[in-house]
Structure 1
Amino acid sequence: MKLSVVIPAYNEEESISETLRSLYTTLKKYDIPHEIWVTNDNSKDNTLGVLQDLQKEIPTLVFETNKGPNGFGYAVRYGLERFSGDCVAVFMADMSDDPEDLVKYYHTMIEQNVDAVFGSRWIKGGKVIDYPAVKKFINRIANFIIKVTIGISYNDTTNAFKLYKRETMEGLKPFLSPHFNLTVELPLKTIVRGYSYSVVPNSWTNRKYGESKLKIKEMGSRYFFILVYCFVEKFFSRGDYMKK
């Protein structure tokens, strides 16, 4: 089963080399057939130049520049419309996600034959390193609200780092979110539409370079919109979008 790894990258010239080298080395070590699909989201720094250099040493690296519209959700969606694998993971360019966790996701999907694999940083075996206190507080409140509203036990919906079968991803379309709320849209649609999933512990490490692209003040209403949409779909769509 070929794995595609979609990575959105905006002004990540300092982080992207270490991220991609680590990812490639790990996937090669476990002999996992894969492609690394990077969307350069119209970066204003030298991200594109770095990717061009990396392509000479990483044979599985594919990248394109998203001319616009731009934003985290658009960049991820750009890759999700173009990847070639049998399954696809969303992975961060800033080294916050661990390639070893991705291997765990991949093997879990194969062994349990599930439609998706979600990580959780907040269950036994999960961990966060240098997680900002305010961000953690908001994260836990947001995930609690999502759990109660949708009626699920999963406690890390807002974490983008997840793995989906190609058929699952096709079943989640059309995508609605142009921004970070895509991280909530994908797993909630997966759950609401009846796709199977497993949850495994994963780790998260705060970025070493640059600044986070997530602006919490701008995202509240957008997360709420997706949450309301998925609530309405679950309880009022009469199963029209359920997995066939």
Structure 2
Amino acid sequence: MKLSVVIPAYNEQESIPETLRSLYQTLAKYGIPHEICVTNDNSKDQTAQVLEQLTHEIPTLVYYTNPGPNGFGYAVRYGLERFTGDCVAVFMADMSDDPEDLVKFYYKMLEGDYDCVFGSRWSKGGKVIDYPQLKKIINRTANFIVRLMMGIRYNDTTNAFKLYKRETMEGLKPFLSPHFNLTVELPLKAMVRGYNYAVVPNSWTNRKYGESKLKIKEMGSRYFFILLYCLIEKYLSRGDYRKKTTKPVAPVSR
């Protein structure tokens, strides 16, 4: 099963080389067929030039430049419309996600034939390194609200790092979120629409270079909008968007 890794990148010239080299070396070590798809989100620094140089070093790397509109969600969606694999992971450019965790996600999907594999940094076996205290409080509060409103047990909905089968991703369209709220839209839609999933502990490490693109003050209402949308779909859509299952055809007696 070919794995695609979609990575949005905006002004990540310092982080992206280490991220891509580590990712490629890890996937190659395990012999996982893959492609690494980076969306340069119209960066103002040297990200595009760095990516061009890296294509000569990393044979599985392809990159696109999103001319606009720009934003985290748009950049991820740009990659999600262009990947060629049988499954796709959203992975961050700032070295916060661990490639070894992606390998665990991949083998978990194969092992159980799951539609999705989600990580959890907050369950047993998960860990965070240098996580800002204010961000942690906001994160835990937001995830508690999501769990309460949606009636789910999963405790790390807001993390972008997740793995989906191609047919699952197709079943989540059309995408609504132009910003970081896409991280909530994808897993909640998957749950509401009846796709099965496994949860695997994973780690998170704060970025070494640059600054986070997430502006918490700007995102609150956008996250809440997506949460309400998924809640409405769950209770009022009467299953119109749920995963289509193929029933076995009974033999015809003659």
**Normalising by the residue count of structure 1, what TM-score does the alignment of the two structures yield?**
1.00
Alignment correspondent of 2:128: 128
Q: Secondary structure at the match of 1:38?
A: strand
Instruction: Name the SS for the 2:128 alignment partner.
Output: strand
SS in 2 for 1:21: helix
- The residue aligned with 2:163 is 163
Q: What is the SS of the residue equivalent to 1:27?
A: helix
1:152 paired with 2:147, answer no
Is the counterpart of residue 51 in structure 1 residue 44 in structure 2? no
Counterpart secondary structure, 1:152: coil
Structure 2 SS opposite 1:135: helix
SS of match in other structure, 2:207: coil
User: Once superposed, what is the RMSD of the aligned Cα atoms?
Assistant: 0.2
Displacement after TM superposition at 1:112 (Å): 0.6
Aligned-partner Cα distance in 2 for 1:44–1:201:
35
Output the CA distance in 1 between the equivalents of 2:60 and 2:162. Answer: 20
| Runs of 5+ consecutive residues of structure 1 not aligned to the other structure | none
| 1:121 CA drift (Å) | 0.2
1:232 is displaced (CA, Å) by 0.2
Structure 2 SS opposite 1:209? coil
Which amino acid is the alignment partner of residue 177 of structure 2? S
The one-letter code of the counterpart of 2:243 is K
Structure 1 Cα separation of the partners of residues 237 and 148 of structure 2: 19
Matching residue of 2:249: none
- Asked if 1:13 is matched to 2:13, the reply is yes
What corresponds to 1:188 in structure 2? 188
Q: Does 1:25 align with 2:25?
A: yes
1:119 matched to 2:119 = yes
Shift of 1:92: 0.1
Query: Which residue number corresponds to residue 64 of structure 1?
Result: 64
Determine the C-alpha separation between the residues in 2 that align with 1:63 and 1:200.
Answer: 28
* 1:103 corresponding residue in structure 2: 103
Aligned to 2:139: 139
2:57 & 2:228 partners in 1: Cα distance? 45
Which letter does structure 2 place at the counterpart of 1:188? L
- 1:218 Cα deviation (Å)? 0.2
Q: TM-score, normalised by structure 2?
A: 0.96
Aligned residue identity for 1:190: A
Between the aligned partners of 1:200 and 1:57, the Cα distance in structure 2 is 31
CA distance in structure 2 between the partners assigned to 1:112 and 1:150 by the alignment: 25
Alpha-carbon distance between aligned partners in 1 of 2:64 and 2:191, rounded to the nearest angstrom: 31
Q: Distance in 2 between matches of 1:62 and 1:52?
A: 9
Which letter does structure 1 place at the counterpart of 2:183?
T
Amino acid at match of 1:71: G
Aligned equivalents of 1:153 and 1:100: distance in 2?
25
In structure 2, the residue matched to 1:38 is 38
Q: Which residue of 2 is the match for residue 215 of structure 1?
A: 215
Counterpart secondary structure, 1:23: helix
Once the two structures are TM-superposed, the CA of residue 109 in structure 1 deviates from its matched residue by: 0.1
* TM-fit CA distance, 1:231: 0.2
Measured after TM superposition, the shift of residue 152 of structure 1 is 0.2
Residue 128 of structure 1 aligns with an amino acid whose one-letter code is V
1:5-36 CA-partner distances (Å, limit 9, x unpaired): 00000000000000000000000000000000
Matching of residue 197 in structure 1 with residue 192 in structure 2: no
Measured after TM superposition, the shift of residue 131 of structure 1 is 0.1
- Following the alignment from structure 1 to structure 2, what is the Cα–Cα distance between the partners of residues 65 and 236? 38
Structure 1 segments, 4+ long, off by >4 Å, are none
Aligned to 2:94: 94
Report the AA paired with residue 36 of structure 1. Answer: I
The match for 2:227 is: 227
Query: What is the distance in 1 between the residues matched to 2:192 and 2:9?
Result: 29
